[in-house]
Amino acid sequence: MFDLPTIWAGLLAVAIFIYVILDGFDLGIGLVFPFLETDKCRDVAMNSVAPVWDGNETWLVLGGGGLLAAFPLAYAVVLPALYAPFIIMILALVFRGVAFEYRWRDKAHEKTWDKSFFFGSLLATFTQGIVLGAFVQGIEVDGRAYGGGWWDWLTPFSMMCGVALTAGYALLGSTWLVMKTEGILREKAYRISKITAVATLAFMGIVSLWTPFLSPEIAERWFTFPQLLFVLPVPTLVFILAGVLAFGLVKRRDSLPFLATIGIFLLCFIGLGIGITPYIVPRAITIAEAAAPDKSLMFMLVGALILLPMILAYTAYSYWVFRGKVDPEAGYH
């Protein structure tokens, strides 16, 4: 009665997108950290995410665990192909988390922890971009297993995706600071946001122009009728939101740049979905082929329908409680 594999693919897509946004601005603050001139500015920047940052990885765990449970074949192919960048990403997230906490407790080495926070954020973000690029360019499959080599993930395209995602997360982080802070830090965040906005849109354009040349099938999906009718609205809306982003930055509408950036990320995510559907491993394994048995999917769906609203409600409540501008004199720590 229900297309359970498609439902689960949608749930995983939502979980991954929520992770990208929530941990994206969190990592983005780490990326812009060295450009905040004073210790007070860095303290306020950290306090803007301190109440919520450690809950953002919940969605990464949900995405990874859900892929294993709902699409075990895809998990068995994707993980061996991307072991190296995944391990680097996880270690970087752990290192970054340690730096976040120890910065407040070990004042004698605060500068060291500041650098650790930046490099952990940079490495985690860059490897996420590499994972995205390696996934989009395609994973070699031999029967029901990964058929490629150890270094297949490291290509010029995946590296460019790493750079593009780094710029995008920096934009999320700087526009978050615009929305959440005041005074000197807010002014600095506006200046950084203008630079990261240009960089994000430029690298996004490069990746978008590069992608059709990765495979004739991608080019056919993007540029032939009727698929073109689904693809064309995406760049059109991106162009509109880029204008909204620019308007918000120029006119100093504090919340608008962050919301416009989320919209741009959403459109990129939708464009990715249009490009790979119905595959879960691009051009190799479809959603239906990778799915677990329907009975297993239904059993897990019952649990997901109970737990996901609870997680969403808790997350929304956390952000609601800590809404508004951060008080520079009142720290979370």
pLDDT in tens, 235-259: 999 999 999 999 999 999 999 999 9
pLDDT score of 332: 54
Q: What is the pLDDT of residues 154-196, one digit of tens each?
A: 999 999 999 999 999 999 999 999 999 998 999 999 999 999 9
Q: Which of 9-13, 14-18, 102-106, 231-235 has the lowest mean pLDDT?
A: 102-106
- Whether the per-residue pLDDT at 97 is higher than 60: the answer is yes
Give the integer Cα–Cα distance in Å for 269 and 274: 9
Q: Among residues 89, 38, 32, which one has the least CA distance to residue 60?
A: 89
Q: How far is CA 170 from CA 77, 272, 297, 298, in A?
A: 31, 21, 37, 39
pLDDT score of 130: 96
pLDDT score of 214: 85
Percent of the chain surpassing pLDDT 90 = 64
Give the integer Cα–Cα distance in Å for 301 and 295: 10
Q: Alpha-carbon torsion 191, 194, 198, 199, what sign? A: positive
Longest alpha-carbon distance in the chain:
63
Place of tokens 């490069």: 206
Give the integer Cα–Cα distance in Å for 104 and 44: 12
pLDDT score of 58: 81
Determine the distance from the C-alpha atom of residue 185 to the mean position of all C-alpha atoms in its chain, rounded to a whole number.
24
- Band of pLDDT at residue 109, cut at 50, 70 and 90: confident
- Band of pLDDT at residue 1, cut at 50, 70 and 90: low
- Whether the per-residue pLDDT at 333 is higher than 60: the answer is no
Q: Where is pLDDT greater, at 121 or 227?
A: 121
Q: What is the pLDDT of residues 285-324, one digit of tens each?
A: 999 999 999 999 999 999 999 989 998 998 899 889 888 8
Residues 6+ apart with CB under 8 A from 108: none
Place of tokens 């008080």: 327
Give the integer Cα–Cα distance in Å for 317 and 314: 5
CB count within 10 Å of CB 321 equals: 9
